[in-house]
Amino acid sequence: MEFCGVSFMRDLTNLQKTAALHEARWWEPEANGKVHCYLCPRHCHIGEGQAGFCFIRANQGGRLYSLGYAHPAALQIDPVEKKPLNHFLPGTRVFSMGTAGCNMGCFFCQNWDISKSRADQVRSSHVPPEDVVALAIDNGCPSIAFTYNEPTIWGEYVIDICRVAREYGLKTVMVSNGYITREAFHDVYDHIDAANIDLKAFTESFYGRITLTHLQPVLDTLQWLKNETNVWFEITNLMIPGLNDAPSETRALVDWVLEHLGPDVPLHFTAFHPDFKLRDRAATPPETLHAARAIALEAGLHYVYEGNIYSDGGNTSCPSCKTLLIRRSWHDVRKNSLKNGCCPNCGLPIPGRWASTGAHTAGMRIAKDRVGAGERHGDLNL
């Protein structure tokens, strides 16, 4: 699949604020000057002067270039609970960034202004990996999240940021739709500390009609994460009235998680609000999330959350003695009673990554190296 034309490539090239385009990974040349991108399961075959489905991987002169490299369209500081991650450095700030473009075509996209807009290239700045890490440390963030749009499609930039982040003791987070090929999976996730993967539904018809992709590759990614990495990961299921909220579908999704990933993977049921091409649907009623959470807990999942609403379903409790461990209000942590990652009442270890190390010392080291990063990039949201 390929999109756009020669003028598109010329425009984007002009909008890059560096002297040279960054050559991509995960591609091979084809006949007639085309290239095959195998970073995600779309497997775009891209003609000269054209871009793939995601907008930000383009063929120039028979080579594939990453137009998102070092060109974020959004830089912000969020609570880590907003990703959502409830078992990863709770109560901390995460330096969050995204570029233009996406490899899915979700009608309900809640970040469509950057994921579907080539124009966001105009608002991007040139921010090399070292400056991303310096900005994160300057702003007191022990971790960096690749989020807002799909970070898989700018995997080259993700990897280079991770290399610098690890050097300075910062953690890294993928907030992803899980749509990545086997060939690229370890190249990216071997550098990552935590992930939230959207499992947008549990039917192929939803994935095909509403996201323009397929379900099975996402399930494959979840199993690779579980069986082949040490990445801490949680799952989000955005519930859309009438499209993916049937109790039978929720039960099937939960049963799959239990069988293939186990009971300790946190599952977040979150509320949809009308957006992008799905403005004719009502927002998800809280009762839908309550019912889904009850199904998952009854089936045997240990950590099930409700998101995008005010609810006690955002709290973490011990699955053994039911002691309240972490009390949250929306994305705020109001109380954290964990003791060394364990329940203070019965001592049960609670799965997750609870402590951060290194960022303070790293901050002092990097400050000497990268003085001025904050001044160069000004307001974070570009």
CB closer to ligand SF4, 92 vs 177 = 177
Q: Give 9: exposed, middle or buried? Use CB within 10 Å, 0-12, 13-18, 19+.
A: buried
Single out the segment in contact with ligand SF4 by CB under 6 A; choices: 34-42, 114-122, 159-167, 285-293.
34-42
Torsion of CA 335, 339, 344, 349, to 10 degrees: 110
CB closer to ligand SF4, 115 vs 316 = 115
Candidate residues 49, 52, 151, 363; the one interacting with ligand SF4 per rule CB under 6 A: 52
Candidate residues 9, 12, 21, 40; the one interacting with ligand SF4 per rule CB under 6 A: 40
Q: Which residue has the tokens 């982040």?
A: 165
Q: What is the DSSP letter of 24?
A: P
Site residue total, ligand SF4 (CB under 6 A): 12
Residue 335 engages ligand SF4 in binding (rule: CB under 6 A): no
Question: How far, in Å, CA of 161 to CA of 180, rounded?
Answer: 19
Give the number of residues written for the chain: 382
Q: Give 41: exposed, middle or buried? Use CB within 10 Å, 0-12, 13-18, 19+.
A: middle
Q: Please state the closest distance from residue 165 (CB atom) to ligand SF4, in A.
A: 23
Residue 53 engages ligand SF4 in binding (rule: CB under 6 A): yes
Q: What is the DSSP letter of 331?
A: T
Residues 100-129, one symbol each (x = binds ligand SF4 by CB under 6 A, - = not), give: ---x--------------------------
The structure tokens listed for 264 are: 């300790």
CB atoms within 10 A of CB 128: 16
The three-point CA angle 366-367-370 to 5° equals 75
Residue 44 engages ligand SF4 in binding (rule: CB under 6 A): yes
Candidate residues 4, 12, 35, 54; the one interacting with ligand SF4 per rule CB under 6 A: 54
Residue 12 engages ligand SF4 in binding (rule: CB under 6 A): no
Note the residues at the interface with ligand SF4 (CB under 6 A). Answer: 37, 39-40, 42-44, 52-54, 57, 103, 153
